[in-house]
A and B are shown apart, each in its own frame.
Chain A
Amino acid sequence: MKNLYSSLNLCSFSHIYVENGVTENENTKRILSKFKSSNVIKINHYKDVFCRHNQDFLVQKKSPKLILARNYGNLIYEGARVCDDFGNEHFYYTSSIMNCLYNCEYCYLQGVYSSANVVLFVNLEDVFKKVESILKKHSVYLCISYDTDLMAFENITGFIRKWIQFVGKHSNLKIEIRTKSSNFKSIEDIVPQDNVILAWTLSPEEICRKYEIGAPGFKYRLNSIKNAVDRGWKVRVCFDPLLYVHNWEKYYKNCVEDTFRIIQEENIQDVSIGVFRIGKDYLKNMEKINPQSLLLAYPFKTADGTCSYSEQHHKLLVNFVYDLVCKYVKKSKVFVQ
């Protein structure tokens, strides 16, 4: 793994912490085989590393470590209020990975976790069992790339491939895989399925460069979408979060127009639009970590524990992007958060 920062920092995943209980797990063995030069350190529980006192999120982000663990928690959670269910009745999410390879300045994960290290839960098969137990009661719409970017990790984990195989056996299960990655090539050989939604978050090139450090630029993401569409996938396009930055109108105009110049409406499942929004406590943590952030210096308004832009700016952003998107996509396909 390359290091994006100072040459004095160790590369990402230079150290891999492995819970004693998962050393014999097949996923563990496969993942470790990809990091032959990393130092492997045995641990009792992932929280011994992940939940230490006084950790510095930003420093760790410069050289994140990988922690392989077993998830004994709930495995599946009901969908969050701030996330769109796209009209699906039984909306759930699951996190096989905590934290992300990218370093987006507005990312809520900085406010959620005290560590920037990446925890990868290797007991994916337990999640499948849990999903099957829920599927016996009703259909499920499940977001699997939550609290992480699963496609960015696909070369390491192979989890998306496993999920798509699993979905193939369950017609009443629909999954969303949301990403900023340009790594579609890692799954390009898989036959498209109607109940698997590949969703790309798109941001203007200027925003990618300035605020989405480590994530592929707009054109790379768009190219990945194009490859997916060419292989028969219907994709979800997410202009979310919209950011109130200097020149935002120009940036988003170019971004939306460039997107639909390449991707035709018939290949689009739907479009999601939403402004930056975040839980009050998470924002507080983020401001503490990154006090110099221009994005976070906005005088956010708080309603029901969620912070976002003023009503005026919210409307400006959403209406502008909505009107632009509706020039290319039917209104019934456009969801506003």
Chain B
Amino acid sequence: MVFIVTALHCEAKPFIEKFALKKDNSINKFQVFKNEEIVLIVSKTGSINMACACAYIIAKFESTQYDTFINIGVCGSKDRTFQIGTSVLCNKIIDNITGRDFYPDMIFRHPFKEACLESFAKIVDQNYLEKVRGDIVDMEGAAFFKAVSIFMPPHRIYSLKIVSDYLDGTKLTAEKVTALIYEKSDEICSWIQDIEHQCAKSKDILDEKDMDYINEIICNFNLSVSMQHQLKKLAKAYKVRNDNLILALEPFTQIYCKTKYERKMYFEKLVQQLEFM
């Protein structure tokens, strides 16, 4: 799954359209739009809202380390070499409040510029420009990264910003924000689709049938928790080496242990069988 997080609805609008996302009306604390592969949540502005929205979708949709999280929104730029409308992937994110720095893993190719983002608690204007350490500025990027990185690996968390102004007090309307992002949305959507299936979860070594046999042995032998772990570990290694795990396990499914002594004796035999090279 890909999880897109925006602060404002006007930032989300191009992606709701492009990915044909439908509003999930069962959720009323945040605006959530989704299809089978993509979930988009609108957090509202500010770091607390952002962190809450991230934690909410991670829990609600039971996301795993194989999912991708992308924060998309507009930003102000200190660096005037970035043209208005430039899309920027953040390779470093500074939390202005705590002074902490965050580093997404830059593993995949992308068509965007790169820069350092600094997140502030309030709107930054020309008077504050000297104190800005980042190249670009927003209000949620650091909270997004900090919240999501508790659960996800750093190569699955991205902050993608579109330059909307030079921190010069330019008034931005919701329509202007949507238009700026809309212009870059094809490029962004195409990149999201490219990276979505990278690092997909590899198949589990033990399949359902293997687990049925293992569970039967666990039950019949009355194995302790530690023995159960040992059995699963040995079974995995055996299957990597031999593939015919079921053949090795089958004779042991017919054994029923009534005493601890019996369990110990037959378990040793089972270990011996699974350690066979």
Task: Report which A residues bind B (CB closer than 8 A).
Answer: 6-10, 14-15, 17, 39, 41, 43-44, 48-49, 52-56, 59-60, 62-63, 65, 244, 291-294, 296-299, 313
**With a CB–CB cut-off of 8 A, which chain A residues contact B277?**
244, 298-299, 313
* Interface-located stretch among B1-9, B55-63, B100-108, B218-226: B100-108
Complex Cα–Cα for A107 and B151 (A): 27
Q: Establish whether residues B108 and A8, one from each chain, have CB atoms under 8 Å apart when the complex forms.
A: yes
Contact-size category for B: 20 to 34
B232: shortest Cβ distance to chain A, in Å?
11
Asked if B116 is at the interface (CB within 8 A of a chain A CB), the reply is yes
Task: Report which B residues bind A (CB closer than 8 A).
Answer: 65, 91-92, 101, 103, 105-109, 114, 116, 149-155, 194-195, 198-199, 202, 205, 234, 236-238, 240-241, 274-275, 277
Q: Establish whether residues A291 and B194, one from each chain, have CB atoms under 8 Å apart when the complex forms.
A: no
**A48-B101, A56-B105, A313-B277 known; 19 other A-B pairs, CB under 8 Å?**
A9-B109, A48-B103, A52-B103, A52-B154, A53-B150, A54-B149, A54-B153, A56-B153, A56-B155, A60-B105, A63-B106, A291-B202, A294-B241, A296-B237, A297-B238, A298-B241, A298-B277, A299-B234, A299-B277
A167: shortest Cβ distance to chain B, in Å?
37
**With a CB–CB cut-off of 8 A, which chain B residues contact A6?**
198
Complex Cα–Cα for A39 and B238 (A): 45
Most buried by A among B105, B108, B240: B105
Q: Establish whether residues A53 and B236, one from each chain, have CB atoms under 8 Å apart when the complex forms.
A: no
Complex Cα–Cα for A17 and B241 (A): 40
Cβ-closest 8 pairs across A and B: A297-B240, A299-B275, A297-B237, A54-B153, A63-B107, A56-B153, A297-B241, A49-B103
Q: Establish whether residues B107 and A39, one from each chain, have CB atoms under 8 Å apart when the complex forms.
A: no
Q: Establish whether residues B108 and A10, one from each chain, have CB atoms under 8 Å apart when the complex forms.
A: yes
Q: Establish whether residues A56 and B236, one from each chain, have CB atoms under 8 Å apart when the complex forms.
A: no
Q: Establish whether residues B153 and A59, one from each chain, have CB atoms under 8 Å apart when the complex forms.
A: yes
Q: Establish whether residues A56 and B101, one from each chain, have CB atoms under 8 Å apart when the complex forms.
A: no
Q: Establish whether residues A291 and B205, one from each chain, have CB atoms under 8 Å apart when the complex forms.
A: yes
A249: shortest Cβ distance to chain B, in Å?
15
**With a CB–CB cut-off of 8 A, which chain B residues contact A14?**
106
**With a CB–CB cut-off of 8 A, which chain B residues contact A39?**
91, 106, 114
Least CB separation from B115: chain A residue:
A39
Least CB separation from B241: chain A residue:
A297
**Can you list 18 A-B pairs, Cβ within 8 angstroms, ordered by A?**
A8-B198, A9-B108, A9-B109, A10-B107, A15-B106, A39-B106, A43-B92, A43-B101, A53-B154, A54-B149, A54-B151, A56-B153, A56-B155, A59-B105, A244-B277, A291-B240, A298-B241, A299-B275
**With a CB–CB cut-off of 8 A, which chain B residues contact A17?**
103
A63: shortest Cβ distance to chain B, in Å?
5
A31: shortest Cβ distance to chain B, in Å?
19
B175: shortest Cβ distance to chain A, in Å?
34
Complex Cα–Cα for A298 and B242 (A): 11
**With a CB–CB cut-off of 8 A, which chain B residues contact A292?**
202, 205, 240
**With a CB–CB cut-off of 8 A, which chain B residues contact A52?**
103, 149, 154
Complex Cα–Cα for A336 and B59 (A): 54
A239: shortest Cβ distance to chain B, in Å?
21
CB within 8 A of A65: which of B65, B106, B241? B106
Q: Establish whether residues A299 and B237, one from each chain, have CB atoms under 8 Å apart when the complex forms.
A: yes
Least CB separation from B199: chain A residue:
A59
Q: Establish whether residues A10 and B202, one from each chain, have CB atoms under 8 Å apart when the complex forms.
A: no
**With a CB–CB cut-off of 8 A, which chain B residues contact A59?**
105, 107, 153, 155, 199
**With a CB–CB cut-off of 8 A, which chain A residues contact B91?**
15, 39, 41
**With a CB–CB cut-off of 8 A, which chain A residues contact B109?**
7-10
CB within 8 A of A44: which of B65, B101, B152? B101
Complex Cα–Cα for A39 and B198 (A): 23
Complex Cα–Cα for A284 and B195 (A): 30
CB within 8 A of A54: which of B65, B199, B240, B241? B65
Given contacts A15-B91, A39-B91, A292-B240, contact A8 B103 (CB under 8 A): no
Complex Cα–Cα for A6 and B108 (A): 9
B212: shortest Cβ distance to chain A, in Å?
20
CB within 8 A of B240: which of A41, A56, A293? A293
